[in-house]
């Protein structure tokens, strides 16, 4: 019997609200998502802010690079009006603000952004910042920068870690064994996921969480392949397709 994958709201329910805002995260909860995926950057004053891009222009009224702004400066920009007038006034949230939205036991996948802008010490900073939350939430820290995850592990060895991939890795076992830290999950571009990859990952004790899954045929294909979760912009719709 195939498992029914859980559904994580990608940057919140970002098909229905401006991504990585408190509105999007609350909408994800309202749609019944069992987890959430979000992105963190480091500000000029050492705060962890929740936004996807390294630049402000696409999702806020600001301009320039996130790491050159203080959290106070980021809070002055509108992060919701671009999506629709109903969301005007949404702000770039701090990580703590986002974590406070979710009920106890919620799965929260924090993706650490690294590259092309590098944030020295961001892995350590994330691990330290979520220390007070690890008893409340089910936390999963992921990144395309696998060296950053080593920094997380060195700071807080008990935190589950997820490897993000945009390309198929044909020697998954040897790569996992080469890493200086344990891995909990692989987050793979959904086009690259098939039965073979899922079987190999499961033999290694890894969860498979494909991104970003919004179309009906992809939901069916990935569920049939036995993935553990689906990261989607429209979690409510995906949940309806799974039931």
| Residues involved in catalysis | 10, 52
Q: Which DSSP helix (H) or strand (E) runs through 48?
A: strand 48-50
Q: Which residue has the tokens 């494909």?
A: 210
Contacts of 196 (CB under 8 A, 6+ apart): none
**How big is the chain by its Cα radius of gyration, in Å?**
17
Convert 31-94 into a string of H (helix), E (strand) and C (coil).
Answer: CCCCEEEEEEEECCCCCEEECCCCECCCCCCCCCEHHHCCHHHHHCCCCCCCCCHHHCCCCCCE
Q: Which residue has the tokens 């993706």?
A: 111
Tokens, residue 101:
């939205």
Q: Where are the alpha helices (DSSP H) in 168-243?
A: 172-178, 195-203, 216-225, 235-242
Angle at 191 between CA 176 and CA 30, to 5 degrees: 95
Q: Do the beta carbons of residue 115 and residue 143 sit within 8 Å? A: no
Tokens, residue 164:
């993000």
- For 213, the 3-state DSSP assignment is coil
Tokens, residue 52:
């996807």
């Amino acid at each position: 019997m195939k498992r029914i994958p859980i559904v994580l709201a990608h940057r919140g329910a970002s098909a229905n609200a401006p991504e990585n805002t408190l509105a999007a995260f609350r909408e994800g909860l309202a749609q019944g998502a069992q987890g959430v995926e979000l992105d963190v950057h480091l500000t000029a004053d050492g705060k962890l802010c929740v936004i996807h891009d390294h630049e402000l222009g696409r999702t806020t009224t600001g301009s320039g690079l996130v790491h050159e702004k203080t959290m106070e400066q980021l809070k002055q920009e509108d992060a919701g009006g671009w999506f629709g007038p109903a969301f005007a006034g949404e702000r770039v949230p701090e990580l703590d603000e986002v974590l406070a939205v979710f009920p106890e036991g919620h799965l929260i996948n924090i993706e650490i952004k690294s590259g092309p802008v590098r944030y020295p010490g961001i892995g350590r900073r994330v691990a330290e910042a979520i220390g007070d939350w690890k008893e409340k939430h089910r936390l999963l820290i992921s990144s395309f920068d696998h060296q950053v995850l080593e920094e997380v592990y060195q700071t807080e060895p008990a935190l589950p870690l997820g490897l993000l991939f945009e390309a198929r890795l044909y020697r998954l076992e040897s790569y996992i064994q080469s890493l200086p830290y344990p891995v909990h999950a692989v987050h793979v571009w959904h086009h690259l996921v098939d039965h073979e990859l899922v079987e190999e990952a499961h033999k290694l004790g890894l969860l498979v969480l494909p991104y970003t899954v919004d179309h009906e045929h992809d939901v069916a294909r990935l569920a049939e392949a036995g993935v553990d979760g689906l990261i989607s912009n429209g979690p409510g719709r995906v949940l309806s397709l799974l039931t």
